[in-house]
Amino acid sequence: MYKVLVALLLTGIICSVANAQITDPKATEVWSPKAKVVTPGSGTKAPSDAIVLFNGTNLSEFVSLADSSAAVWTINRDSSMTVAAGKGNIRTRRSFGDCQLHVEFRAPVVVKGEGQGRGNSGIFLQQRYEVQVLDCYQNTTYSNGQTASIYKQSIPLANACKKPGEWQTYDIIYTAPRFNKDSVLVATGHVTVLHNGVLVQNHTEIKGTTEYIGLPKNIAHGKAPIELQDHGDLVSYRNIWIREL
């Protein structure tokens, strides 16, 4: 304890002395490297360095989860797509690690079902970690399974749901878990989510896979696709883009 106190005191003195010697403001300026230039998006336009995964034209960036054939969810006239109930989940062709992901979604206008049965879909980061998509506007379910939960792991900080039929946004910042060469988890993943601009997951630690039954699992993996869930409800998506970090 005594040694720790002495060490802290000495560190403080050294820092103070070093700081007192700096008199030129330029001494603490850092000019390199420079941040890359990115033209921000606006409205439905993605930032200049983003990969557009869906802009309403086609589903060429997605395939069916079941057999990797062409994705067959419904493309609508308003540049959105809708879950084709029973056709199964779809996933991106490309694989991703750390990323910033923008997704817009809309719960069905015709309100049907309750709890988990209303406007259920989901966004699986690396096909393993689900950011829940659900219609929780005046609809109650278990808190760690509601809209913007990390499914069965983390309750969102707020319920920022809009009414069914209104477009909503998720802005997700994701840091993937790290595994060593022996497939041991050495750094947990984290996720930050803004739902309609409201912070709902703040650097939330990912405990492992988001299981419907049972506890999270941590099995080593590398980059993996983004997957969208067919839960049988006619949830729509539009304007999906991703920035690799």
* Binding-site ranges for Mg ion (CB under 5 A): 120, 122, 229
Residue 66 C-beta: closest distance to Mg ion, Å: 17
Q: Which residues pair with 198 in a beta bridge?
A: 195
3-state class of 94 per DSSP?
coil
* Cβ contact 83:154 at 8 Å: no
Determine the residue type at 44. Answer: T
Helix or strand run (H / E) with residue 131: strand 129-133
Choice between 122 and 177, CB closer to Mg ion: 122
Residue 152 C-beta: closest distance to Mg ion, Å: 10
Residue 134 C-beta: closest distance to Mg ion, Å: 6
Residue 83 C-beta: closest distance to Mg ion, Å: 11
Which CA distances in Å does 92 have to 89, 106, 110, 132, 232?
A: 10, 20, 28, 18, 20
State the Cα torsion 245-189-89-237 to the nearest 10°: -50
Helices (H) and strands (E) in the chain, counts: 1, 15
Choice between 50 and 125, CB closer to Mg ion: 125
Choice between 50 and 191, CB closer to Mg ion: 191
Closest residue by beta carbon to Mg ion: 122
Determine the residue type at 165. Answer: G
> How open is the CA angle 88-94-99, to the nearest 5 degrees?
105
Choice between 97 and 122, CB closer to Mg ion: 122
Residue 2 C-beta: closest distance to Mg ion, Å: 56
Residue 4 C-beta: closest distance to Mg ion, Å: 49
State the Cα torsion 70-75-80-83 to the nearest 10°: -70
Choice between 143 and 180, CB closer to Mg ion: 143
* Cα 126 from chain centroid (whole Å): 10
Choice between 53 and 136, CB closer to Mg ion: 136
Q: Can you read off the two tokens belonging to residue 179?
A: 């595994």
Residue 153 C-beta: closest distance to Mg ion, Å: 13
Choice between 46 and 81, CB closer to Mg ion: 81
